[in-house]
Structure 1
Amino acid sequence: MGARGAGLGRFAADLPAVDEFVSLGEGDTPLIPLDVLARRLGLRHLSAKMESLNPTGSYKDRVAAMSLSLARQRGDTGWIATSSGNAGLAMAAYGTRAGLPGFLCLVASAPLEKRLPLMPYPIGLVAVDGVGRQSTGTSESVLFDHVCAAAERHRLFLGVTAHAFNPDGMRGIDTIGYELAEQAPDATHVYVPTGGGGLLVAVARGLRHRNHPARVVVAQPEGCAPIVRFLDGEVPRPAVDRCDTDISALQLPHPPDGQLAADAVLHSRGWGTAADDKAILSAQRLLAATEGVFVEPASAATVACLLADVERGRITADDHPVLLMSGAGWKDLGRFAEDVDRLPMVDLAGVPDRVDAWAATATTRT
């Protein structure tokens, strides 16, 4: 089902033991230079780790591949998970690949583009209200309690993508750190979009395991930045009362792996940076317009936070930051609907004039 010499299998000796990896071709994602953006920021080097190019469009494929491989190894009857979208799609795809039934509790406010791709898969699925935007730590805890209890009742693999619930499955993300050690040995900082904290914990662990000295930077939206606020000494623990951001996947006021993430940042001598939703969405457009890289807003949080850190002098010309692009842009398209509505309509005869008008300005800028 999956070759041991490719994808996660390439790192089998450093991962939980399984006889066979469930695979759809995840991992070994490219690291690409962002030269135009680097010049704009006065940096000699800037790179992006393209986790958005995994089979279902996010780094969660690494978790799902490891989790479903373990589920088969352990003889579980199926799987159960919670998700704001990315993990759900990954678990549905890899669960189907593994031949294991699954049940998903999806955040009701998840973007349509994260809900629609779930429809072809033969899984149990409910949309859960009260979590996501405007959620509280209490509502998150209740949902996790329900899912954990169901996993125990029905002997299901607990596929929640957090170390607090699924530490062995989360080891699949360590491979990002392993790959970065190969691809960017000179990287000085790795910016990680952070919601529950699990991605950052695993990336930092993978870097440490390969003795890579990069500092790890938490990137969060200001409306839900519990780990950043904890690192800045504003709150006594990495938790806030309520989530107030529209950035999907980063809406966890009580991140399950918040303390582990904070510890990993401090161990790497990194820090936390927050940016408001407007800056994050602007950064999403900037990355597409300058580099042709279209990622979901959660990924663009790394760009917005890097811009802020350059302005503050935290990042200098001699540094080589790497931005972790956690998910693809097609996963959250609703905010571009107004742009589509403004498209000019012309008849066939009007096409030449439109092209000529465009060429008069566009070609002079190249």
Structure 2
Amino acid sequence: MASGGLCRFAADLPTVERFVSLGEGDTPCIELSVLAKRLGLRRLSAKMESQNPTGSYKDRIAAMSLSLALQHGHPGWIGTSSGNAGLSMAAYGTRAGMSGFLCMVATAPQEKRLALLPYAVEVVSIDGVGREGTARVATALMEQVRLAAEQQNLFLGITAHAFNPSGMRGVDTIGYELAEQTPDATHVYVPTGGGGLLSAIARGLLHRDMPAKVIACQPSGCAPIVAFLDGTSDAPAMSRCDSDISALQLPHPPDGTLAATAVETSGGWGTAPDDAAILEAQRLLAKTEGVFVEPASAASLAAVFHDVDRGRLQPTDRPVLVLTGAGWKDLARFEADDARVPLITVDDVASRVDKWCSSL
């Protein structure tokens, strides 16, 4: 298998004879100077997990998971996904020569479904999860997948500590890299759905003795972990999801308690901007910094705006956004913009350029 990738941190990860790799990890951490100035912050940075091989941080989990699957002799893998995890597992499974079975959220963006089709993976679309999904259906799905994995000796590729704790260790490497890249960061803002990403990043930071506060960022329509941290809920769970932000639509997050504990241990908190604020943050990142991410990623920026407005962040703070996935993964919301692109003739180009230049 390829060198590089997670094997740089092999001494701090579960033991495998060889790592399955597509070059994941070592993603850049860039300065967002325009947004920092707008927010009145000393510095603002972004960890570009969108630059992993399949466009999301899930590649780190897939790399660790498929390495473990080979190590333990599984004939294949099975998992659930709203898109990112499925694509990662499909790519890394193919890299490992191992077929997979994927239960895909029916309401996942088309870009995420279509990107799966070239790979050696069996895909089924599951109704009743995602937008307006209920905790009962989501829990039942994960249990069905867990039982199938047990009966068929498949590697259980659900990207949550509750089901795949060793595979999730791949995400610890984000924390390791942040400790190298931004050792003076005061806060790490993490888009949070099932809670596994946040838990692993917090563990990685702790392992590297980095004292940054970890902030859970969830859409207000599906914010069970934030509600629990705020004391408005007795448990990090809710009965139903009411958010359109794909990948953050888990009303009963499998790692909810683990994530809440990690936030509290770091001295952090939870923030829940609404869908409109998250989508505006997505556009703002692209327009001001040239960084195009999927909406779930932009939840971290929306949460920073929310916290600055409420005095939770001070001008001397130095937060880092974890940008979890690339913008091409969810393009349907830009169809209205595309419809407004004018169709002109070659002879009209010069006048259009003149008109555009006059507005600069």
1:40, distance to aligned residue in structure 2 (A): 0.7
Q: What SS does structure 2 have at the residue aligned with 1:216? A: strand
User: Are 1:318 and 2:333 matched, yes or no?
Assistant: no
Question: Any residues of structure 2 matched to 1:209-358 within 5 Å, and which?
Answer: 209-358=207-356
Whether the 8 Å CA contact 2:20–2:64 is kept in 1: the answer is yes
1:257, distance to aligned residue in structure 2 (A): 0.1
Structure 1 CA distance for aligned equivalents of residues 356 and 41 of structure 2: 32
Structure 2 CA distance for aligned equivalents of residues 75 and 33 of structure 1: 43
Structure 1 partner of 2:62: 64
Whether the 8 Å CA contact 2:5–2:22 is kept in 1: the answer is no
Unpaired runs of at least 5, structure 2: none
Structure 2 partner of 1:110: 108
Whether the 8 Å CA contact 1:113–1:330 is kept in 2: the answer is yes
1:235-273 superposed Cα distances (whole Å, 9 cap, x missing partner): 100001100000000000000000000000000000000
| Aligned residue type for 1:9 | C
Structure 1 partner of 2:98: 100
One of 119, 122, 125 as aligned partner of 1:121: 119
Whether the 8 Å CA contact 1:135–1:243 is kept in 2: the answer is yes
Structure 2 CA distance for aligned equivalents of residues 245 and 220 of structure 1: 10
User: Are 1:159 and 2:138 matched, yes or no?
Assistant: no
Structure 2 partner of 1:187: 185
| Aligned residue type for 1:2 | A
* Moved segments of 4+, more than 2 Å: none
Structure 2 partner of 1:37: 35
Question: Any residues of structure 2 matched to 1:187-206 within 5 Å, and which?
Answer: 187-206=185-204
Whether the 8 Å CA contact 2:226–2:270 is kept in 1: the answer is yes
Moved more, 328-337 or 117-126: 117-126
| Aligned residue type for 2:2 | G
Whether the 8 Å CA contact 2:90–2:100 is kept in 1: the answer is yes
Structure 2 partner of 1:2: 2
Structure 1 CA distance for aligned equivalents of residues 286 and 7 of structure 2: 32
TM-score, normalised with respect to structure 2: 0.99
1:36-84 superposed Cα distances (whole Å, 9 cap, x missing partner): 0001111110000000000000000000000000000000111000000
Unpaired runs of at least 5, structure 1: none
1:263-310 superposed Cα distances (whole Å, 9 cap, x missing partner): 000000000000111110000000100000000000000011100101
| Aligned residue type for 1:348 | V
Structure 1 CA distance for aligned equivalents of residues 251 and 257 of structure 2: 13
| Aligned residue type for 2:175 | G
Structure 2 CA distance for aligned equivalents of residues 141 and 315 of structure 1: 36
| Aligned residue type for 2:235 | R
Whether the 8 Å CA contact 1:2–1:9 is kept in 2: the answer is no
1:204-243 superposed Cα distances (whole Å, 9 cap, x missing partner): 0000000000000000000000000000000100001100
| Aligned residue type for 2:264 | L
**Alignment: residue pair count:** 360
RMSD: 0.5
Structure 1 CA distance for aligned equivalents of residues 120 and 197 of structure 2: 27
Structure 2 CA distance for aligned equivalents of residues 223 and 97 of structure 1: 37
1:75-95 superposed Cα distances (whole Å, 9 cap, x missing partner): 011100000000000000000
Q: What SS does structure 2 have at the residue aligned with 1:70? A: helix
One of 145, 148, 155 as aligned partner of 2:146: 148
1:132, distance to aligned residue in structure 2 (A): 0.6
User: Are 1:77 and 2:70 matched, yes or no?
Assistant: no
Structure 2 CA distance for aligned equivalents of residues 145 and 44 of structure 1: 46
Structure 2 CA distance for aligned equivalents of residues 274 and 144 of structure 1: 26
Structure 1 CA distance for aligned equivalents of residues 255 and 107 of structure 2: 22
Structure 1 partner of 2:16: 18
Structure 2 CA distance for aligned equivalents of residues 129 and 154 of structure 1: 24
Q: What SS does structure 2 have at the residue aligned with 1:192? A: strand
1:2, distance to aligned residue in structure 2 (A): 2.6
Structure 1 CA distance for aligned equivalents of residues 287 and 99 of structure 2: 41
Whether the 8 Å CA contact 1:58–1:327 is kept in 2: the answer is yes
